Structure 1
């Protein structure tokens, strides 16, 4: 916490809706921990037309409510005001504050980390190890390296949009929506999917396939490319193009190549796509170009995923 406080002109611009989105988001984050600024903004809002209407509605509700209900409303208001007061010391009073903070983290992480996708990631990672050592299947790593780059792409698609997030209309109306929220949820998906899949690749036999971490740059590049393309065609179509394109690029040559063992042909194709400085440098360049495209198309993500 700093000694900075919102000046009166900033509070007035926030109240009348003329404050830019980024500044409004920053101010709202500050108000969560600063009682004096929250009071200043509240006074500014009460001075607007909307504030007058809200005051009339409040008086009508309190006037029509029974005494017990009115006391309950007042108690709730006092509780909300106390929640805005920042704690001065590390004490047990900090514990209740963890609940709303955890709620904000889960909201930002997105539905992909709270649904079936997380279970699917664990099933893929654990299943690869079980197939390698429980069933004695030697070609697990090539298959895992084919599937792994697509997993975060699908996870991001399941994290944002009206068809994936039941609270999308609410989140889309907040100052932190748009590209900021997309990137936060992408980071959450990558943080959850990368460690178990990479660890599974380390544990299973190589079978002539590239190293267990060889898919990380391709996975990042495909995820960023999917996000960049989503600014034009939406998350579902972008996921189908990038994920499907990767699978076709790897599987089609392996299936068409002569030879008896599919896993050996698949490992050879993966080596051409993932092994060596030229291949990894190409994926790094693709990731950078996709990140630039994301920055250029930033305004498009304010409406991303809306029907």
Structure 2
């Protein structure tokens, strides 16, 4: 709806305060009204007929404000800046530092394994899939972000905000893992596909139970699955072998499809997860 105007029927329902408007449509209308003066004018003209009490309240507020506004000095002009708050949160700063430390430790451990005659890259491979999951959880955790309640209540909250912050997580994490993988000789496809599969899986499951809970569930499942497979196959990196990569690609596609199909789920959970 960012490039189209609000349909008349939907605008009328919004002006009337219809509680039956779906959450994703309500979000789209309010986000569009922020930047479209034409639709705001249409809504203003609808108010007297659709919601006369609201129109009377607005007129009363303007009647009290206009004299004060006319007598106020104009504010000095400021250069418009794009806020990073739409992409980042304060909680992501310590997470980025933690990710760097984990990557460095993984490289150190792999160097020790290689020096002992074992294959390198094991620690990097095992850490790479779950690092973005932890970052996504940190970027949308109510306890970690002091502004979470205010952000979650805005019209732009929900899946679009979660996707922006997920992209910021990946932009921070992937270069770190690229350097760690190049240092230890790990093939990028071995960790990138599982990394993306875990990320889309977190978003897909997050639409049902909340992003933080989804991240915790997947990290716990990974922590249990890796030792179990290692005990069975004798290889710690068994789930990350090249012949298993098509499975990770399929999981990534399924996760992305679920995210798209249930895109309204993040809007419904935005204020409470």
TM-score, normalised to structure 2, is 0.74
1:109 and 2:87 equivalent? yes
Give 1:9 deviation, angstroms. Answer: 5.2
Give 1:286 deviation, angstroms. Answer: 0.7
> For the residues of structure 1 that align with 2:226 and 2:31, how far apart are their CA atoms?
44
Q: Which residue of the partner structure matches residue 75 of structure 1?
A: 74
Q: Which residue of the partner structure matches residue 231 of structure 1?
A: 207
1:171-190 matches, cutoff 5 A: 171-190=151-170
Unaligned runs of 5+ in 2: none
State the number of aligned residues: 259
Where does structure 1 differ by over 6 angstroms across 4 or more consecutive aligned residues?
none
Question: 1:239-263 CA deviation, whole Å, 9 max, x = no partner?
Answer: 1221121122223443x479xxxxx
Matched residue SS, 1:214: helix
1:39-50 matches, cutoff 5 A: 40=41, 44=45, 49-50=53-54
1:269 and 2:273 equivalent? no
Alpha carbons of structure 1 residues 299 and 7: separation in structure 2 relative to 1, 3 Å = closer
1:24 and 2:24 equivalent? no
Question: 1:138-189 CA deviation, whole Å, 9 max, x = no partner?
Answer: 4762112111111100111111243333323333333322222222221221
1:57 corresponds, among 57, 61, 70, to 61
In 2, are the aligned partners of 1:109 and 1:185 still within 8 Å (CA)? yes
Matched residue SS, 2:121: helix
Alpha carbons of structure 1 residues 53 and 188: separation in structure 2 relative to 1, 3 Å = same
Alpha carbons of structure 1 residues 235 and 6: separation in structure 2 relative to 1, 3 Å = closer
Which stretch has the larger CA shift, 40-49 or 50-59?
A: 40-49
> For the residues of structure 2 that align with 1:40 and 1:201, how far apart are their CA atoms?
55
In 1, are the aligned partners of 2:92 and 2:135 still within 8 Å (CA)? no
1:134-149 matches, cutoff 5 A: 138=115, 141-149=121-129
Q: Which residue of the partner structure matches residue 246 of structure 1?
A: 222
Q: Which residue of the partner structure matches residue 96 of structure 1?
A: 79
Which stretch has the larger CA shift, 219-228 or 51-60?
A: 51-60
Give 1:40 deviation, angstroms. Answer: 3.7
Matched residue SS, 1:303: helix
> For the residues of structure 2 that align with 1:6 and 1:303, how far apart are their CA atoms?
24
Alpha carbons of structure 1 residues 137 and 28: separation in structure 2 relative to 1, 3 Å = farther
In 1, are the aligned partners of 2:129 and 2:191 still within 8 Å (CA)? yes
Matched residue SS, 1:175: coil
In 2, are the aligned partners of 1:149 and 1:222 still within 8 Å (CA)? yes
The RMSD of aligned alpha carbons is 3.9
Q: Which residue of the partner structure matches residue 99 of structure 2?
A: 121
Question: 1:249-278 CA deviation, whole Å, 9 max, x = no partner?
Answer: 223443x479xxxxxx6xx331x32222x3
Give 1:213 deviation, angstroms. Answer: 3.9
Question: 1:209-255 CA deviation, whole Å, 9 max, x = no partner?
Answer: x524411111111121122222222223211221121122223443x
Alpha carbons of structure 1 residues 286 and 12: separation in structure 2 relative to 1, 3 Å = closer
In 2, are the aligned partners of 1:11 and 1:44 still within 8 Å (CA)? no
1:211 corresponds, among 170, 182, 187, to 187
1:298 and 2:258 equivalent? no
In 1, are the aligned partners of 2:110 and 2:124 still within 8 Å (CA)? no
